[in-house]
Amino acid sequence: MPRSGAEARTRLRDAALALYEERGYDATTTAQIAERAGVTERTYFRHFADKREVLFDGETQLREVMTAAIASAQEELAPAALVLRAYSAAMPLFVAGRPEAERRARIIATSTALQERAHAKSAALTQALIDALVDRGIPEPTARLAARTGAAMFEHASRAWKGTSATELESLLRHAVDEVRALHR
C-alpha cells in the first residue's frame, strides 16, 4: 500500500491513464483504477470526486501558479501583458507535464463526457484568471476579453508545439500574439 496521500494520488493518476488507454474510458471502473493503484475504491473517492476528475489533477496547481503570477506582477502591466505573464509562469508545468498531457488528450478525444469536463476545466481556469485580473482593479469585461483571447492564443501556441522541442512553447506564444494582431489589424 502507498504510504502517503500524495503517493496514492500519483498512483491513481498513473493507473487511470494506463487503464483508460488499455481498456478505454467507458469500460474502466473506479474499482479497477483503485485496484491497479493498490488502494481501496474509498481512497479513490477521497482523492477524486468521480471517474473523470482523475484526468484533470494538474489543474489546481496550474491555476495557483497562473493566478499568483498575475497577483505578484508589477503595478503598471496592462491586462494582456498580465495574462501572458500568467501563461509564462506556467511554462515549467506545461513542459514537465507534456508527455502525460499528450496521453490525456488522446483519451479525452474518445469520450464526450471527458470533452465536456475538459471544456469546463479550461473555462474554470479562464475564470480564475479573470478573477485575478479583477482583483487588480481591471474592469470585469476587459479582464474577461483579455483572459479569453489569451486562452485562444495559448491554445494556438500549444497546438503548434506538437512535434517541436519542449522549450519552444514560450516563443510560440509570443508568435500567437503577433498573429492575433495581424488578424484584427
Nearer to a copy of itself, 36 or 148 (CB): 148
Map residue 139 onto helix, strand or coil.
coil
Q: Is 163 in the site for a copy of itself (CB under 8 A)?
A: no
Q: Is 152 in the site for a copy of itself (CB under 8 A)?
A: yes
For residue 31, what are the contacts with CB-CB under 8 A and spacing of at least 6? Answer: 41
Q: Is 11 in the site for a copy of itself (CB under 8 A)?
A: no
Instruction: Please give the residues from 63 up to 82 whose contact with a copy of itself meets the rule CB under 8 A.
Output: 78-80
Q: Is 146 in the site for a copy of itself (CB under 8 A)?
A: yes
Cα 54 → chain centroid: 13
Q: Name residue, grid cell 478505454.
A: 24
Size of the chain in residues:
185
| Distance from C-alpha of 27 to C-alpha of 42, rounded to nearest angstrom | 20
Give the binding site for a copy of itself (CB under 8 A). Answer: 78-80, 112, 115-117, 119-120, 123, 141-142, 144-146, 148-149, 151-153, 155-156, 159-160, 176-177, 179-181, 183-185
